[in-house]
Protein backbone atom coordinates (compact mmCIF):
# COMPACT_ATOMS: atom_id res chain seq x y z
CA UNK A 1 0.00 0.00 0.00
CA UNK A 2 1.32 3.42 -0.99
CA UNK A 3 2.44 5.77 1.78
CA UNK A 4 0.93 9.21 2.27
CA UNK A 5 4.05 10.84 0.80
CA UNK A 6 3.92 8.62 -2.26
CA UNK A 7 0.28 9.56 -2.82
CA UNK A 8 1.10 13.25 -2.47
CA UNK A 9 3.95 13.00 -4.97
CA UNK A 10 1.89 11.26 -7.63
CA UNK A 11 1.11 13.04 -10.84
CA UNK A 12 -2.46 13.37 -12.03
CA UNK A 13 -3.79 12.97 -15.57
CA UNK A 14 -6.49 15.16 -17.05
CA UNK A 15 -8.00 13.86 -20.28
CA UNK A 16 -9.83 16.58 -22.19
CA UNK A 17 -12.11 15.39 -25.00
CA UNK A 18 -12.95 17.98 -27.65
CA UNK A 19 -15.78 17.30 -30.12
CA UNK A 20 -15.77 18.20 -33.78
CA UNK A 21 -17.96 19.88 -36.37
CA UNK A 22 -21.49 20.25 -34.99
CA UNK A 23 -20.71 17.69 -32.31
CA UNK A 24 -21.66 17.76 -28.64
CA UNK A 25 -20.84 16.22 -25.27
CA UNK A 26 -22.59 13.07 -26.49
CA UNK A 27 -20.30 12.61 -29.50
CA UNK A 28 -17.83 10.40 -27.62
CA UNK A 29 -20.52 8.24 -25.97
CA UNK A 30 -18.87 6.17 -23.18
CA UNK A 31 -15.40 6.21 -24.80
CA UNK A 32 -13.86 8.73 -22.34
CA UNK A 33 -14.98 6.74 -19.30
CA UNK A 34 -13.69 3.47 -20.77
CA UNK A 35 -10.27 5.00 -21.42
CA UNK A 36 -10.21 6.57 -17.95
CA UNK A 37 -11.05 3.24 -16.32
CA UNK A 38 -8.29 1.41 -18.20
CA UNK A 39 -5.70 4.01 -17.19
CA UNK A 40 -6.84 4.09 -13.56
CA UNK A 41 -6.49 0.31 -13.35
CA UNK A 42 -3.11 0.16 -15.07
CA UNK A 43 -1.33 3.23 -13.65
CA UNK A 44 -0.71 4.35 -10.09
CA UNK A 45 -2.19 7.77 -10.76
CA UNK A 46 -5.42 9.70 -10.45
CA UNK A 47 -7.07 10.02 -13.85
CA UNK A 48 -9.95 12.32 -14.69
CA UNK A 49 -11.72 12.52 -18.04
CA UNK A 50 -13.73 15.60 -18.90
CA UNK A 51 -15.48 16.64 -22.07
CA UNK A 52 -14.79 20.20 -23.11
CA UNK A 53 -18.14 22.01 -22.97
CA UNK A 54 -20.01 22.08 -26.26
CA UNK A 55 -18.91 25.02 -28.38
CA UNK A 56 -20.20 26.59 -31.57
CA UNK A 57 -18.55 25.13 -34.66
CA UNK A 58 -19.31 28.20 -36.71
CA UNK A 59 -17.75 31.53 -37.48
CA UNK A 60 -14.01 32.13 -37.44
CA UNK A 61 -11.97 29.12 -36.28
CA UNK A 62 -9.95 31.52 -34.12
CA UNK A 63 -12.95 32.01 -31.85
CA UNK A 64 -13.07 28.30 -31.04
CA UNK A 65 -9.30 28.24 -30.46
CA UNK A 66 -9.53 31.26 -28.14
CA UNK A 67 -12.30 29.58 -26.17
CA UNK A 68 -10.43 26.29 -25.71
CA UNK A 69 -7.14 28.02 -24.82
CA UNK A 70 -8.77 30.21 -22.18
CA UNK A 71 -10.71 27.27 -20.74
CA UNK A 72 -7.60 25.09 -20.53
CA UNK A 73 -5.67 27.78 -18.71
CA UNK A 74 -8.42 28.40 -16.18
CA UNK A 75 -9.25 24.71 -15.68
CA UNK A 76 -5.64 23.63 -15.12
CA UNK A 77 -4.85 26.53 -12.78
CA UNK A 78 -7.93 25.69 -10.68
CA UNK A 79 -6.97 22.01 -10.49
CA UNK A 80 -3.33 22.83 -9.74
CA UNK A 81 -4.45 25.04 -6.87
CA UNK A 82 -6.61 22.22 -5.48
CA UNK A 83 -3.66 19.82 -5.66
CA UNK A 84 -1.46 22.20 -3.65
CA UNK A 85 -4.22 22.94 -1.15
CA UNK A 86 -4.47 19.22 -0.40
CA UNK A 87 -0.72 18.90 0.04
CA UNK A 88 -0.01 17.29 -3.32
CA UNK A 89 3.32 17.83 -5.05
CA UNK A 90 2.74 15.98 -8.32
CA UNK A 91 2.16 17.49 -11.74
CA UNK A 92 -1.13 17.80 -13.60
CA UNK A 93 -0.53 16.24 -17.01
CA UNK A 94 -3.01 17.21 -19.72
CA UNK A 95 -3.86 15.08 -22.73
CA UNK A 96 -6.11 16.49 -25.44
CA UNK A 97 -8.23 13.90 -27.26
CA UNK A 98 -10.19 15.43 -30.10
CA UNK A 99 -12.51 14.22 -32.83
CA UNK A 100 -12.74 15.62 -36.35
CA UNK A 101 -12.38 19.42 -36.51
CA UNK A 102 -11.81 19.39 -32.76
CA UNK A 103 -8.32 18.09 -33.55
CA UNK A 104 -7.53 21.23 -35.53
CA UNK A 105 -8.90 23.44 -32.76
CA UNK A 106 -6.81 21.51 -30.21
CA UNK A 107 -3.63 21.69 -32.30
CA UNK A 108 -4.03 25.44 -32.68
CA UNK A 109 -4.63 25.77 -28.92
CA UNK A 110 -1.41 23.86 -28.17
CA UNK A 111 0.52 26.12 -30.53
CA UNK A 112 -0.84 29.13 -28.64
CA UNK A 113 1.15 28.03 -25.60
CA UNK A 114 4.40 27.65 -27.57
CA UNK A 115 6.93 30.37 -28.45
CA UNK A 116 6.76 31.66 -32.02
CA UNK A 117 10.04 29.92 -32.78
CA UNK A 118 8.98 26.43 -31.70
CA UNK A 119 12.31 24.82 -32.50
CA UNK A 120 14.10 27.25 -30.16
CA UNK A 121 12.73 25.49 -27.09
CA UNK A 122 14.17 22.24 -25.79
CA UNK A 123 10.89 20.93 -24.37
CA UNK A 124 7.19 21.72 -24.32
CA UNK A 125 7.00 20.41 -20.75
CA UNK A 126 6.86 22.85 -17.88
CA UNK A 127 7.33 22.60 -14.14
CA UNK A 128 6.41 26.26 -13.55
CA UNK A 129 2.63 25.68 -13.53
CA UNK A 130 2.11 28.92 -15.47
CA UNK A 131 0.58 27.14 -18.44
CA UNK A 132 -1.18 23.83 -19.10
CA UNK A 133 1.30 20.96 -19.06
CA UNK A 134 0.05 19.35 -22.26
CA UNK A 135 1.93 16.10 -22.83
CA UNK A 136 0.06 14.88 -25.87
CA UNK A 137 -2.58 15.28 -28.53
CA UNK A 138 -4.62 12.35 -29.78
CA UNK A 139 -6.77 13.17 -32.79
CA UNK A 140 -9.53 10.94 -34.08
CA UNK A 141 -10.24 11.19 -37.81
CA UNK A 142 -9.14 14.81 -37.94
CA UNK A 143 -8.70 16.04 -41.53
CA UNK A 144 -5.33 17.69 -40.93
CA UNK A 145 -4.64 17.55 -44.67
CA UNK A 146 -8.28 18.18 -45.52
CA UNK A 147 -10.89 15.63 -46.54
CA UNK A 148 -10.41 12.69 -48.84
CA UNK A 149 -11.43 14.27 -52.14
CA UNK A 150 -12.87 10.97 -53.30
CA UNK A 151 -15.59 11.29 -50.66
CA UNK A 152 -17.02 14.12 -52.75
CA UNK A 153 -16.95 14.74 -56.48
CA UNK A 154 -14.16 16.76 -58.09
CA UNK A 155 -16.55 19.52 -59.25
CA UNK A 156 -17.90 19.70 -55.70
CA UNK A 157 -14.42 20.14 -54.27
CA UNK A 158 -13.65 22.85 -56.80
CA UNK A 159 -16.84 24.62 -55.72
CA UNK A 160 -15.82 24.36 -52.08
CA UNK A 161 -12.45 25.96 -52.78
CA UNK A 162 -14.23 28.75 -54.64
CA UNK A 163 -16.52 29.21 -51.66
CA UNK A 164 -13.52 29.47 -49.35
CA UNK A 165 -12.30 32.53 -51.25
CA UNK A 166 -15.63 34.28 -50.70
CA UNK A 167 -16.69 32.87 -47.35
CA UNK A 168 -16.26 36.12 -45.42
CA UNK A 169 -18.09 38.34 -47.91
CA UNK A 170 -21.71 37.55 -47.16
CA UNK A 171 -23.81 36.91 -50.24
CA UNK A 172 -20.77 36.81 -52.48
CA UNK A 173 -20.52 33.20 -51.36
CA UNK A 174 -23.76 32.53 -53.18
CA UNK A 175 -22.26 33.81 -56.43
CA UNK A 176 -19.43 31.33 -55.97
CA UNK A 177 -21.80 28.47 -55.34
CA UNK A 178 -24.48 29.43 -57.84
CA UNK A 179 -23.94 28.09 -61.39
CA UNK A 180 -24.93 30.49 -64.14
CA UNK A 181 -27.58 28.06 -65.35
CA UNK A 182 -29.16 27.42 -61.92
CA UNK A 183 -32.91 27.36 -62.37
CA UNK A 184 -35.05 29.46 -60.07
CA UNK A 185 -37.47 26.54 -59.91
CA UNK A 186 -35.08 24.87 -57.45
CA UNK A 187 -35.40 27.74 -55.00
CA UNK A 188 -38.38 26.48 -53.02
CA UNK A 189 -36.92 23.00 -52.56
CA UNK A 190 -33.55 24.51 -51.67
CA UNK A 191 -35.13 26.79 -49.08
CA UNK A 192 -36.80 23.84 -47.40
CA UNK A 193 -33.56 21.88 -47.26
CA UNK A 194 -31.44 24.71 -45.92
CA UNK A 195 -33.98 25.48 -43.20
CA UNK A 196 -34.26 21.85 -42.14
CA UNK A 197 -30.48 21.49 -42.09
CA UNK A 198 -29.96 24.63 -40.06
CA UNK A 199 -32.38 23.48 -37.40
CA UNK A 200 -31.13 19.90 -37.11
CA UNK A 201 -28.30 18.65 -34.90
CA UNK A 202 -27.22 15.10 -34.20
CA UNK A 203 -25.17 13.78 -31.29
CA UNK A 204 -22.76 12.13 -33.72
CA UNK A 205 -21.83 15.36 -35.45
CA UNK A 206 -23.00 17.21 -38.52
CA UNK A 207 -20.94 15.83 -41.40
CA UNK A 208 -23.72 13.52 -42.54
CA UNK A 209 -26.17 16.37 -43.01
CA UNK A 210 -23.74 19.17 -43.80
CA UNK A 211 -21.43 17.33 -46.19
CA UNK A 212 -23.71 18.19 -49.08
CA UNK A 213 -23.81 21.83 -48.12
CA UNK A 214 -20.38 22.60 -46.72
CA UNK A 215 -18.57 20.73 -49.47
CA UNK A 216 -20.83 21.76 -52.31
CA UNK A 217 -22.13 18.29 -53.19
CA UNK A 218 -25.63 17.47 -54.44
CA UNK A 219 -28.06 20.23 -53.67
CA UNK A 220 -25.56 23.07 -53.23
CA UNK A 221 -26.80 24.84 -56.34
CA UNK A 222 -30.38 24.61 -55.11
CA UNK A 223 -29.42 26.00 -51.73
CA UNK A 224 -27.52 28.84 -53.34
CA UNK A 225 -30.38 29.64 -55.68
CA UNK A 226 -32.85 29.61 -52.81
CA UNK A 227 -30.74 31.88 -50.65
CA UNK A 228 -29.97 34.26 -53.49
CA UNK A 229 -33.47 34.66 -54.85
CA UNK A 230 -35.29 34.64 -51.50
CA UNK A 231 -32.90 36.56 -49.26
CA UNK A 232 -35.46 37.88 -46.80
CA UNK A 233 -37.25 34.57 -46.35
CA UNK A 234 -34.15 32.58 -45.44
CA UNK A 235 -31.80 35.29 -44.17
CA UNK A 236 -31.48 33.65 -40.74
CA UNK A 237 -30.70 30.24 -42.19
CA UNK A 238 -28.24 31.68 -44.70
CA UNK A 239 -26.36 33.47 -41.94
CA UNK A 240 -26.26 30.22 -39.98
CA UNK A 241 -24.97 28.34 -43.02
CA UNK A 242 -22.34 30.96 -43.83
CA UNK A 243 -20.95 30.80 -40.30
CA UNK A 244 -20.58 27.02 -40.52
CA UNK A 245 -18.96 27.31 -43.95
CA UNK A 246 -16.50 29.80 -42.49
CA UNK A 247 -15.59 27.34 -39.73
CA UNK A 248 -14.83 24.43 -42.07
CA UNK A 249 -13.23 26.65 -44.71
CA UNK A 250 -9.90 25.93 -43.00
CA UNK A 251 -9.99 22.57 -44.79
CA UNK A 252 -9.71 24.25 -48.18
CA UNK A 253 -6.50 26.09 -47.30
CA UNK A 254 -4.02 23.30 -47.94
CA UNK A 255 -1.00 25.53 -47.39
CA UNK A 256 -2.28 26.38 -43.91
CA UNK A 257 -3.00 22.70 -43.27
CA UNK A 258 0.60 21.78 -44.08
CA UNK A 259 2.00 24.63 -42.01
CA UNK A 260 -0.09 23.63 -38.98
CA UNK A 261 1.12 20.04 -39.18
CA UNK A 262 4.75 21.08 -39.56
CA UNK A 263 4.45 23.14 -36.39
CA UNK A 264 2.57 20.65 -34.23
CA UNK A 265 4.92 17.78 -35.14
CA UNK A 266 7.93 19.91 -34.17
CA UNK A 267 6.73 20.79 -30.67
CA UNK A 268 9.48 19.20 -28.53
CA UNK A 269 8.39 16.20 -26.43
CA UNK A 270 4.75 16.48 -27.47
CA UNK A 271 3.38 13.04 -28.35
CA UNK A 272 1.03 13.40 -31.31
CA UNK A 273 -1.03 10.74 -33.05
CA UNK A 274 -4.02 10.78 -35.36
CA UNK A 275 -6.16 7.65 -35.51
CA UNK A 276 -8.11 7.69 -38.77
CA UNK A 277 -10.99 5.48 -39.87
CA UNK A 278 -10.29 2.96 -42.59
CA UNK A 279 -13.16 0.93 -43.99
CA UNK A 280 -12.77 -2.82 -43.84
CA UNK A 281 -15.51 -3.46 -46.37
CA UNK A 282 -16.68 -0.42 -48.35
CA UNK A 283 -20.02 -0.54 -50.13
CA UNK A 284 -18.28 -0.85 -53.51
CA UNK A 285 -14.78 -2.09 -54.34
CA UNK A 286 -13.80 1.30 -55.77
CA UNK A 287 -15.37 3.34 -52.96
CA UNK A 288 -13.09 5.52 -50.80
CA UNK A 289 -11.95 3.84 -47.59
CA UNK A 290 -11.00 6.92 -45.54
CA UNK A 291 -12.69 10.15 -44.53
CA UNK A 292 -9.48 12.16 -44.30
CA UNK A 293 -6.93 12.85 -47.00
CA UNK A 294 -3.75 10.81 -46.70
CA UNK A 295 -0.80 12.58 -45.07
CA UNK A 296 2.43 13.13 -47.04
CA UNK A 297 5.13 10.51 -46.73
CA UNK A 298 7.17 12.44 -44.15
CA UNK A 299 4.20 12.67 -41.77
CA UNK A 300 2.79 9.14 -42.03
CA UNK A 301 4.48 8.12 -38.79
CA UNK A 302 2.01 10.32 -36.90
CA UNK A 303 -1.06 8.66 -38.42
CA UNK A 304 -2.47 5.25 -37.57
CA UNK A 305 -5.35 3.49 -39.29
CA UNK A 306 -8.28 2.41 -37.14
CA UNK A 307 -10.24 -0.26 -38.96
CA UNK A 308 -13.94 0.65 -39.15
CA UNK A 309 -16.88 -1.66 -39.74
CA UNK A 310 -19.16 1.05 -41.17
CA UNK A 311 -20.29 0.93 -44.80
CA UNK A 312 -19.13 4.39 -45.90
CA UNK A 313 -16.53 6.98 -44.81
CA UNK A 314 -18.97 9.51 -43.34
CA UNK A 315 -20.75 6.87 -41.25
CA UNK A 316 -17.37 5.61 -40.07
CA UNK A 317 -16.36 9.14 -39.15
CA UNK A 318 -19.50 10.13 -37.26
CA UNK A 319 -19.86 6.70 -35.63
CA UNK A 320 -16.23 6.26 -34.65
CA UNK A 321 -17.09 5.80 -30.96
CA UNK A 322 -20.32 3.90 -31.46
CA UNK A 323 -20.00 0.08 -31.17
CA UNK A 324 -23.18 -0.26 -33.24
CA UNK A 325 -21.46 1.20 -36.30
CA UNK A 326 -17.85 0.49 -35.39
CA UNK A 327 -17.18 -2.88 -33.83
CA UNK A 328 -13.53 -1.91 -33.41
CA UNK A 329 -14.13 1.03 -31.08
CA UNK A 330 -13.09 -1.08 -28.08
CA UNK A 331 -9.73 -1.83 -29.70
CA UNK A 332 -9.42 1.91 -30.34
CA UNK A 333 -9.87 2.52 -26.62
CA UNK A 334 -7.04 0.12 -25.80
CA UNK A 335 -4.73 1.81 -28.32
CA UNK A 336 -5.63 5.21 -26.88
CA UNK A 337 -4.89 4.15 -23.30
CA UNK A 338 -1.58 2.64 -24.37
CA UNK A 339 -0.56 5.85 -26.12
CA UNK A 340 -1.44 7.96 -23.07
CA UNK A 341 0.70 5.66 -20.93
CA UNK A 342 3.58 6.36 -23.31
CA UNK A 343 3.00 10.10 -22.93
CA UNK A 344 3.14 9.92 -19.14
CA UNK A 345 6.26 7.74 -19.14
CA UNK A 346 8.01 10.15 -21.48
CA UNK A 347 7.21 13.09 -19.20
CA UNK A 348 8.45 11.27 -16.10
CA UNK A 349 11.71 10.36 -17.84
CA UNK A 350 12.19 14.00 -18.81
CA UNK A 351 11.51 15.18 -15.25
CA UNK A 352 13.97 12.66 -13.84
CA UNK A 353 16.61 13.94 -16.26
CA UNK A 354 16.12 17.49 -14.95
CA UNK A 355 17.09 16.49 -11.43
CA UNK A 356 20.26 14.64 -12.42
Distance between terminal CA atoms of the chain?
28
Tell me the C-alpha distance between 90 and 8, whole Å: 7
Q: What is the pLDDT of residue 190?
A: 39
Q: What are phi and psi of 139, to 5 degrees?
A: -105, 145
Tell me the C-alpha distance between 123 and 354, whole Å: 11
Shortest CA distance to 216 belongs to which of 154, 306, 126, 142? 154
Tell me the C-alpha distance between 336 and 318, whole Å: 18
Residue 305 bridge partners (DSSP): 276
Cβ-Cβ contacts under 8 Å for 319 (sequence gap 6 or more)? 204, 310, 325, 326
How far does Cα 144 stand from its chain's mean position? 9
Shortest CA distance to 72 belongs to which of 142, 13, 16? 16
Q: What is the pLDDT of residue 87?
A: 85
Please check whether residue 110 is in contact with residue 134, taking contact to mean a CB–CB distance below 8 angstroms.
Answer: yes
Find the mean pLDDT for residues 173-189.
40
Per-residue pLDDT of 220-275, as tens digits, reads: 433 444 444 444 443 444 444 444 455 567 777 889 999 999 999 999 889 999 99
Tell me the C-alpha distance between 97 and 52, whole Å: 10
Find the mean pLDDT for residues 272-288.
82
Please check whether residue 134 is in contact with residue 124, taking contact to mean a CB–CB distance below 8 angstroms.
Answer: yes
Burial of 72: CB neighbours in 10 Å, binned 0-12, 13-18, 19+: buried
Please check whether residue 304 is in contact with residue 156, taking contact to mean a CB–CB distance below 8 angstroms.
Answer: no
Query: Confidence class of residue 219 from pLDDT cuts 50, 70 and 90?
Result: very low
Per-residue pLDDT of 100-124, as tens digits, reads: 989 999 999 999 998 766 555 555 5
Shortest CA distance to 139 belongs to which of 59, 58, 20? 20
Q: What is the DSSP string of 91-145?
A: -EEEEEEEETHHHHHHHHHHHHTS-SSGGG-S-S--SS-SS--EEEEEEES--BT
Query: Confidence class of residue 144 from pLDDT cuts 50, 70 and 90?
Result: very high
The proportion of the chain whose per-residue pLDDT surpasses 70, expressed as a percent, equals: 63
Shortest CA distance to 234 belongs to which of 274, 272, 200, 187? 187
Tell me the C-alpha distance between 29 and 50, whole Å: 12
Shortest CA distance to 276 belongs to which of 298, 257, 293, 251? 293
DSSP E strands, 5-84: 12-18, 46-51
Question: DSSP secondary-structure letter at 319?
Answer: T
**Domain range list for the chain:** 4-147+254-354, 149-252
CATH class of 4-147+254-354: alpha beta
Find the mean pLDDT for residues 278-288.
74
Tell me the C-alpha distance between 197 and 78, whole Å: 39
pTM across the whole model: 0.75
Please check whether residue 271 is in contact with residue 136, taking contact to mean a CB–CB distance below 8 angstroms.
Answer: yes
Per-residue pLDDT of 28-68, as tens digits, reads: 999 999 999 999 999 878 999 999 987 766 667 888 899 99
Amino acid sequence: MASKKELQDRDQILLVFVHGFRGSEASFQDFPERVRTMLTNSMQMDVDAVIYPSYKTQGNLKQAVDGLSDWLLEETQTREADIRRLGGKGQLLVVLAAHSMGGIVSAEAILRFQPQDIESQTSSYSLSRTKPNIVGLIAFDTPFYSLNHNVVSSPAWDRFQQVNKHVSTGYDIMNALLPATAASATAAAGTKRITETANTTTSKGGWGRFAGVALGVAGAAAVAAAAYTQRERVSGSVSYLLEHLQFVSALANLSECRSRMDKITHVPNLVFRCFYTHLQKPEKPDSPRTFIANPPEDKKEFFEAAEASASDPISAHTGMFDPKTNSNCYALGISTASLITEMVNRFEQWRDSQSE
